[in-house]
Amino acid sequence: MQTVFANGYAGRESPELAFTDILTGLGNHRRFYDKVDRLISDRADDPAPFAIGILDLDGFKPINDLFGGRAGDDILVQVAMRLRASMDAHSTVTRIGADEFAFLYPLVFSEEAVAERARMLIEILSAPYDVGERTARLSASVGCSLFHLGDETTDILINKAETALYQAKRSGRGRVVVYTREMEEAAKRVTRIEQALRRAVSAGEVEPHFQPIVDLKTRRTVGFETLARWTDRDLGPVSPVVFIPIAEERGIIGQMSQLVLRKATEAARDWPEDLFLSFNLSPSQLVDQNTGLHILAILERTGFDPRRLEIEITETGLMSDPASAEKIVQDLRRCGIRVSLDDFGTGQSSLGRLREFHFDKLKIDRTFVASILDDRPAEHIIRAILAMCEGLGMDVVAEGIEEEAQAERLVQFGCAGGQGFLFGRPANADATLGYLRDSFRGAQRARAV
């Protein structure tokens, strides 16, 4: 029996190759586990520290796609040669995945020492690689953990190193993270939040709140953005800055979004028909081709007019899988749903995406609005965005408006829509209905005068 992975990564059941990676000649994941198991057993009576690490090549897949699988294999062989040459007589390096390598340092006893060794490996791997007549460059991220206690197992050490590697990848390329006690506590807290959030979503306890979007000239409310809010019975109020990334990373975001959209459309169904509802889609929803079907099913169930719904997507979500995102956007627009690009200016998508995707609206990120009164570059950027949107026939909303002077400056520049604490903070469905009643009475009094 043989399991074959990308770029020649394979594990054979035959005795002579059971512990060898056939592409690089290094040990494989079974070799690594065996080495760590033996070292833990040897130190059972006197658990002296040692260090392990997992190294992941940053950006290997794009290089592999660009140059081809054979060139990718050549690069992996060169990586293996460099890593093997960097090991001393006591240390071991193995290949445990397509572009992942693991190392064992039996005589490294501290976090500082293993971090220094890992940084050295990253430096060694940063030199150019020969790919035929061309060269390629790679960076690497590393997660490390230390054996301290006799009751730690190989699985525990590797899980800690993988957690540290995940943190290193999130922090940017070419980073080293060593697993710490603080990281362990943070991981436990994330797990507690995840479990509570799963229960809350199943019980329907995540609620929509609504923030007004206004016509900047008249200050008339034209719509509301839906924002998820959650108060747990044990944890208390949990910030969306905390629970939304956890929902995204742990695969809860789709179910949670459907819950919040259903509740939001049920509430907004009874609002004046000229008000629209804006709703955010996460990056993972833009790679799920069932997303459009889920949205339309919810609208049909709640009786909410698709023409009153706007879907917001971010530049980051757009870049995850442009082809998938484009199909979802097209499906939604065919049903009358408008699509806006959120947080414009903070992502990595090109201006050409605006033409390709035919957005109905663009939302200027709050970081530019916050600096509009005292930062000339921010002012010029906002002017340029507004001119571009006018040429493309797109509506514009500026986010994060907190001061009257900011709103006035945006009106001077020709920005039609605004959103921010100046006009209202996010509020639940009942408070939003009260806000609308007060606005209606105020408009009646103004007409009477």
Q: What is the mean pLDDT of each run of 10 residues along the chain (449 residues)?
A: 47 68 95 95 86 94 81 93 96 95 96 96 94 87 90 91 91 91 85 96 98 96 98 96 94 96 96 96 90 95 97 82 86 93 69 75 92 91 92 93 97 96 96 88 61
Question: By CB neighbour count within 10 A (0-12 exposed, 13-18 middle, 19+ buried), where does 89 fall?
Answer: exposed
CATH 3.20.20.450 residue spans of the chain:
203-448
Tell me which CATH code domain 2-179 carries. 3.30.70.270
Of 147, 146, 56, 54, nearest to 103 by C-alpha is 54
pLDDT computed for residue 6 by the predictor: 47
Tell me, what's the pLDDT at 11? Answer: 46
Domain 203-448 CATH superfamily: EAL domain (3.20.20.450)
The partner residues of 142 in beta bridges, in order of sequence, read 55, 176
The predicted structure's pLDDT at residue 5 = 45
Whether residue 39 contacts residue 107, with contact meaning beta carbons closer than 8 Å, is answered with no
CA distance 249 to 246: 5
Asked whether the beta carbons of 395 and 360 are under 8 A apart, the reply is yes
**Alpha helix ranges (H) inside 371-428:** 376-392, 404-413
The DSSP 8-state label assigned to residue 416 in this structure reads -
The residues of the chain that CATH labels 3.30.70.270 are 2-179
Q: How many residues does the chain have?
A: 449
Task: State the first-to-last Cα distance of the chain, in angstroms, to the nearest integer.
Answer: 86
Q: Among candidates 289, 203, 201, 205, which has minimal Cα distance to 247?
A: 201
Cβ count near 425 (within 10 Å):
12
**CA atoms in the 13 A half-sphere facing the CB of 97:** 12
Pair 168, 141: CB distance under 8 Å = yes
Q: Is the dihedral of CA 254, 260, 266, 271 positive or negative?
A: negative
Show the CA angle centred on residue 211, arms to residues 432 and 449, nearest 5°: 60
Which residues have C-beta within 8 Å of that of residue 88, sequence separation ≥ 6? 107
For residue 134, the model assigns a pLDDT of 85
Residue with tokens 């006591």, as numbered in its chain = 90
**pTM for the predicted model, two decimal places:** 0.74
Give the pairing type, strands 139-147 and 338-344. Answer: unpaired
State residue 238 phi and psi, 5-degree precision.
-110, 125
Q: From start to end of 281-394, where are the E strands? A: 309-314, 338-344, 361-364
215-216-218 Cα angle (round to 5): 70
